Chain A
């Protein structure tokens, strides 16, 4: 049995192309496969699609006026989509692919490590964006004010980058799909308790509050607050130089977490389950 195409290669050394193929073609193929796998994995898909709305629904049961309800809706939907759609599902995807030795196959091929690690994030990012869009649409419908809409963009983009990078990092010390429920728990708990997501940070001691603003979820919630109400981390109205300063203070922790998690994740990533 022979392959009928390209039966002769005149001189391997000279016919070799000077450069490899395009990033977009490779990445596109990986993303298409990851999307297909996600759609066929009912459990993962259900978690990703249903979990954030459920959490948002649970939190919005608190009695409030309609406008305040819109803020809660954006916070809980965007926040829980980051944790459960993006972070948790991506950790399990990466670990499942590693357990099936898919990552080892890919890393032995042409795709680069970063391409392989980011491909599973793309379909999840789409889901995250859809849910964020629903949250914002809901807030508009509820008549919630939008003092600084651009801050929502920062929250969504910054949050996505931070929690994608954190997923890669968490996957470095998660051995099995089952253990992912445990290994992702610390970050999810901290994010839920110390971000203003479930309870206002202002009820906590001052020193804890200041520490909390450096955690990966808090800036997302802070930016959503800023977007709707135009207020800073201690509830003060912001304008001019103070607005720029406060915004920078919210972006900085996200940048640091993204850089740190991506660096540690790429350095420490194990491609082989036995490695």
Chain B
């Protein structure tokens, strides 16, 4: 267990800005076990560590995106924050409380969108929403929530007859119904049509603007780029990169690309500090985009450069670089 650098000295302070704090968090799964019939428990005989020492914090009024390849440990981490399991090591604080031991003090202030919806098949949308409404301490009205996710017209449809997008919108409506101070969304937009996605984005950013902390896992990098205040890229159970979008891409060079011009002499193109790759396409990787671009344009003069494109490093570049890294045993 590591000591937390994030927590203020005043013990149990909920005054802190940080709504979610993880320090040195690990999670092991049992991969082989035998069943003890008396206790109904499985006694582990082999295990696998999915989360290998994660530190992160999410502040109020902030949207934090947790990215990662399949099997990187995103859901395993998120389930610990949701209080669905205890970490095998490390410490988790949600609104200043342990989400498992003090679940009664945390749950009514949090909203969760699990990867799986979990609707009983016999209930209609409205019945499911009313059930959920009944379990909440300070619920927002059912009708307003269904309206907000464009499901008011589908209120009497059984949940098992909903489309994937409609199920997801209902999921989000139920999570937001708690008017949560902390909202955790595990891949809320996977497989959704653009319109459903926009609806969900709008609701989530609205919640952030009102001061809630949002933790989001996603496969869609552009979703993280557009929504997140801060981003972490998880790989093999650890956080490989963390920061604002600008911070994350800062170490990765910008790119200028164009098709190879016939009438220009490449030897006369001077781009100090940049790396130039020449095929049918010219790719220039540079830490100083503006300077290099100015030199390229001066070099080209009046000659048109086909498919000219200049951009700072993308999250995708960083993500792929992280994902390609070999797994290291922590």
Min C-beta distance of A35 to chain B, whole Å? 11
A108 near B114: Cβ-Cβ < 8 Å: yes
Binds A, one of B125-133, B219-227, B264-272: B125-133
Cβ-based interface call for A240 (8 A): no
Chain A: CB-nearest residue to B40:
A268
Cβ-based interface call for B109 (8 A): yes
Min C-beta distance of B104 to chain A, whole Å? 6
Min C-beta distance of B237 to chain A, whole Å? 18
Cβ-based interface call for A33 (8 A): yes
**A97 to B87 Cα, complex, angstroms:** 26
**A172 to B41 Cα, complex, angstroms:** 9
Collect the chain A residues with CB atoms within 8 Å of residue B130's CB.
29
Cβ-based interface call for A138 (8 A): no
Q: Please, what's the 1-or-0 string for B25-64, where 1 marks a CB less than 8 Å from any CB in chain A? A: 0000000000101111100000000000000000010000
Q: Please, what's the 1-or-0 string for A39-51, where 1 marks a CB less than 8 Å from any CB in chain B? A: 0110000000000
**A17 to B107 Cα, complex, angstroms:** 12
Collect the chain A residues with CB atoms within 8 Å of residue B202's CB.
1-2
Cβ-based interface call for A68 (8 A): no
**A25 to B105 Cα, complex, angstroms:** 17
A101 near B107: Cβ-Cβ < 8 Å: no
B40 near A110: Cβ-Cβ < 8 Å: no
Q: Please, what's the 1-or-0 string for B184-219, where 1 marks a CB less than 8 Å from any CB in chain A? A: 000000000000000100110010001110000000
**A251 to B149 Cα, complex, angstroms:** 54
B211 near A9: Cβ-Cβ < 8 Å: yes
B134 near A2: Cβ-Cβ < 8 Å: no
Q: Please, what's the 1-or-0 string for A102-140, where 1 marks a CB less than 8 Å from any CB in chain B? A: 111111111110000000000000000000000000000
Min C-beta distance of A184 to chain B, whole Å? 15
A105 near B117: Cβ-Cβ < 8 Å: yes
Collect the chain B residues with CB atoms within 8 Å of residue A63's CB.
none
A101 near B39: Cβ-Cβ < 8 Å: no
Instruction: Out of A9, A105, A268, name the residue touching B118 (CB < 8 Å).
Output: A105
Instruction: Out of B84, B127, B211, name the residue touching A12 (CB < 8 Å).
Output: B211
Cβ-based interface call for B179 (8 A): yes
Min C-beta distance of B123 to chain A, whole Å? 6
Cβ-based interface call for B289 (8 A): no
Cβ-based interface call for B82 (8 A): yes
A169 near B40: Cβ-Cβ < 8 Å: yes
A21 near B108: Cβ-Cβ < 8 Å: yes
**A4 to B148 Cα, complex, angstroms:** 9
In the complex, the number of residue pairs spanning A and B with C-beta atoms less than 8 Å apart equals 142
Interface residues of A, count at CB 8 A: 51
A109 near B144: Cβ-Cβ < 8 Å: no
Collect the chain B residues with CB atoms within 8 Å of residue A202's CB.
none
Cβ-based interface call for A6 (8 A): yes
B114 near A110: Cβ-Cβ < 8 Å: no
Cβ-based interface call for A264 (8 A): yes
B144 near A5: Cβ-Cβ < 8 Å: yes
Collect the chain B residues with CB atoms within 8 Å of residue A110's CB.
107-108, 135-137, 178
B40 near A109: Cβ-Cβ < 8 Å: no
**Which residues of B are in contact with A by a Cβ distance under 8 Å?**
14-15, 35, 37-41, 60, 82-84, 95, 103-105, 107-109, 112, 114, 116-123, 127, 130-138, 140-141, 144-145, 148-150, 176, 178-179, 181, 199, 202-203, 206, 210-212
Task: Pick 29 A–B contacts, CB within 8 A, sort by A.
Answer: A1-B148, A1-B150, A1-B203, A2-B203, A3-B140, A3-B203, A5-B140, A6-B179, A8-B210, A9-B211, A12-B181, A17-B137, A26-B135, A29-B130, A29-B131, A36-B127, A100-B120, A101-B116, A104-B118, A105-B116, A105-B119, A107-B84, A108-B82, A110-B135, A173-B37, A264-B40, A265-B40, A267-B41, A268-B41
Known A12-B60, A102-B120, A105-B118; 10 more pairs at CB < 8 Å = A2-B148, A9-B210, A21-B136, A33-B123, A33-B131, A104-B114, A104-B118, A105-B117, A109-B112, A110-B107
**Which residues of A are in contact with B by a Cβ distance under 8 Å?**
1-9, 11-13, 16-17, 20-21, 25-26, 28-30, 32-33, 36-37, 40-41, 97, 100-112, 169, 172-173, 264-265, 267-269, 271-272
